[in-house]
Structure 1
Amino acid sequence: MTDFTPGSTYHGFILRRKEHVADINSEVYLFEHEVLGTPALAIKNADPNKTFCFTFQTVPEDSTGVAHILEHSVLMGSKKYPIHDVFGEINKGGLTTFLNAMTGSDTTWYPFASRNTTEYFNIMDVYCDVVLNPLLPRSTFEQEGWHYHKESEDAPLQLQGVVLNEMKGAFSDPIRSIFHHIFGGLMPGSTYAHESGGDPSVIPDLSYEQFVEFHRKHYHPSNGILFFYGDADLEQELAAVQDNFLADYDGPGTKAEVVQGDDISEPVFIEDSYAVQPDSDLSGKT
């Protein structure tokens, strides 16, 4: 096994720090890509449940849910893997112990885990390609984000989309809706005043061009962080992401920044409301 030395470079990554953490019986390494500045955190131990994650700093500038829509959309095929449903294909006989993608308030995560070494490196290749080189056709944006829909010629015009419908369900919970407005009241002008998942009333304001531009701006490796865990060979992991993906970039990109917003210096009073079904009994409602 390689004796990693702080200050040395391994497959394009400079080892900045190395530490044994007894509580988890692991060697922990913090690398930085020498060209792109991409951090790579590795927790290496005897756990066969090998785990990889590529995370990006996806800072929303509004509540259109563009980061959430992109999370869905990149998994609809890439240049190397032009398949319609990446998760579905992986699940057709794979041995993964975890497979998901998640949108947070200011980050988007693409983690998976597998006990099989060959599968681990194969899916790592898929994950890196779909996030860095997605196809992102307009049809995917309309399916995963929003589009106009009519059941028949005489039916009323509707707005539909996977994320739009998902967030309609989320915002049907009064607590979710009210907390969104509380964050906006307590942190006005900040990143966290926006709903990164998408406010159903605002999602249709997002254009296809804005959607593509958000990916270009936020899905550069310089704006991401790599994570490795388990008993896979660390040199092989670093080589896989460097040789197959990061070597294609000739310079660093711009890192997204969280907007702090305005300070609150006095109590804030918020009056808010939430929707109920038509003709609902309002007695006892708060």
Structure 2
Amino acid sequence: MKTMTSSFPGFTLKREEFIKEIDSTVFLFEHSLLKCPVLAIKNSDSNKTFSAAFNTVPTDSTGVAHILEHSVLMGSEKYPVKDVFGEINKGGLTTFLNAMTGSDITYYPFATRNLKEYFNIMDVYCDVVFNPLLTEKTFEQEGWHYHQESLDSPLQYQGVVYNEMKGAFSDPIRHIFHHIFAGLLPGSTYAHESGGDPRNIPDLSYEEFCAFHKKHYHPSNGMFFLYGDAPLEEELEFLHDRFFSTFSDPGKRAEIKKGTPPDSPVFIEDSYGVDSTDTTEKTFLALGTNVSTVANREENTAFQIIANILFNSDGSP
């Protein structure tokens, strides 16, 4: 592989390193104007992979980031289709296709071995995240709306994400983790349920939904990932010419709120639905404490190993 120069049209190469363990050359670029990072892992793997990720930082538990993840995939101005994944799957050449909402980030990754399809899907992915239609009908379908079976029936809340999170919150373990984060990190980004708490999802308005996209789905608030044997120069040129160059001003990166950890024990009680009136042995107890931060990767890995030994293996008891 030829060595890249320190700059590239639209990008500046910040770091280049060969990693023997994965037999790959890793490049870290930064867009000259928008300052978004582009991480490229280049090797002979034909399974070409792309991902666009945005810092979607929630300020409440309405699930706006999760609803947006669903909604941008309902089409863009260039690709006005109701089911982007369904249309892509008709080609049948992808080896991975998904979108995921985390506690402070939303990912749009895919992979394929076909070079032509790789650039075609990259074009679709970037267009739907940067130029989605986001109609009010889509918001109501994917987020929430009022539903009434008949004139005599009571009004109900319905929606793809609303129903999904009702199912998620029927699991008491999900409740426990939600409360642990809220109790250990009050006032922080992680005290909120990014997927959406069914009790809070109907508080989200269409205007707030659109404003969240405008604020968070800017290249300056994102990170882009390239992997495999696709020509790196063509990938960077594709991203810059078709998408990044359409933005005349850099945006701001969303800031994560760290909150203030409690200095004394916090006790939280809540209830969850059961199928019968018999609540014998239906109580869950959990104890949590702050031990590290996500930036301390080596320490986090050590704690995960210790947790697997002490709690998660068959021999733990």
TM range (shorter): over 0.9
Gaps of 5+ in 2: 284-317
Consecutive aligned runs of 4 or more in structure 1 exceeding 6 Å deviation? none
* Alpha-carbon displacement from aligned partner over 1:38-62 (angstroms, at most 9, x marks no partner): 1000000000000000000000000
1:31 and 1:41 in contact (8 A); partners too: yes
Query: Secondary structure, in 3 states, of the residue corresponding to 1:48?
Result: coil
Residue 282 (structure 1) aligns with? 279
Residue 134 (structure 2) aligns with? 136
Shift of 1:264: 2.0
1:178 and 1:273 in contact (8 A); partners too: no
Q: Give distance in 1, aligned partners of 2:203 and 2:122.
A: 34
Residue 59 (structure 1) aligns with? 57
> Percent same amino acid at aligned positions?
69
Shift of 1:179: 1.4
Shift of 1:2: 4.6
| Aligned 1:93-112 pairs, distance under 5 A | 93-112=91-110
Amino acid paired to 2:174:
R
Residue 21 (structure 1) aligns with? 19
Shift of 1:153: 1.7
Q: Give distance in 1, aligned partners of 2:148 and 2:243.
A: 42
Query: Structure 1 residue aligned with 2:144, among 143, 146, 151?
Result: 146
| Aligned 1:105-120 pairs, distance under 5 A | 105-120=103-118
Residue 4 (structure 1) aligns with? 4
**Which moved further from structure 2: 175-184 or 50-59?**
175-184
Give the TM-score taking structure 1 as reference length.
0.97
Gaps of 5+ in 1: none
Shift of 1:275: 2.4
Highest RCO, 1 vs 2 (Cα 8 Å, sep ≥ 6): 1
Q: Give distance in 2, aligned partners of 1:114 and 1:149.
A: 40
Q: Give distance in 1, aligned partners of 2:181 and 2:270.
A: 12
Q: Give distance in 1, aligned partners of 2:146 and 2:127.
A: 30
1:66 and 1:214 in contact (8 A); partners too: yes
Residue 173 (structure 2) aligns with? 175
* Alpha-carbon displacement from aligned partner over 1:57-93 (angstroms, at most 9, x marks no partner): 0000000000000000000000110111000000012
Q: Give distance in 2, aligned partners of 1:271 and 1:86.
A: 42
